[in-house]
Amino acid sequence: MRIAPSFLVLIITGLISVPTHAAKSYLCVVDQSTGFKFDARQKEWREVSFKADAKYLVIYEQIHKQWAWSVYSFAQRDVPIAVCHFHQGSPKFPIPTKDDHLKCDGFQEIFFLNLNLLKFLHTQYAGYWIDNVSTSTPLIQIGKCVKL
């Protein structure tokens, strides 16, 4: 069987154009976590530092016949907490945004991942603005990721 030269050029070009950061999954660990919590006794919101022990798995997977980046919390692994913008392409070549970062949206939360610096920012914005007294606590987490 003979392979056409144009086909070889296409394959080589595809391999060269794959970003060096194109991993299919990342493990992200929280370094710091801060936010606000409602103090029921004082009837006011207060700043609080949360325990920085959360971990997230960011994977490139097929969802409803389309490929997307999904963010899973180790605390809740059955459903993604956020899904990133959909990308055209195959699972072999996940294409990040042109700025080399992912922005993943979930229900009242956002997860940003810089694929070059391997740093992330996660925010949950439920609470405070929804009602006067809330059990939800707005928070911001920052941390680092490793390629898997």
Residue 146: what are its φ and ψ, rounded to 5°? -130, 145
Which tens digits make up the pLDDT trace of 7-59? 333 333 333 333 444 578 999 999 999 999 988 899 888 999 999 999 999 99
Q: What sign has the CA pseudo-torsion 128, 129, 132, 135?
A: negative
Q: For residues 31 and 41, what is the distance between their CA atoms, to the nearest angstrom? A: 30
Which tens digits make up the pLDDT trace of 69-127? 899 998 887 899 999 865 554 444 455 555 678 889 998 899 999 988 999 999 998 88
Residue positions counted in the chain: 148
Q: What sign has the CA pseudo-torsion 111, 140, 56, 80?
A: negative
What pairs with residue 91 in β-bridges? none
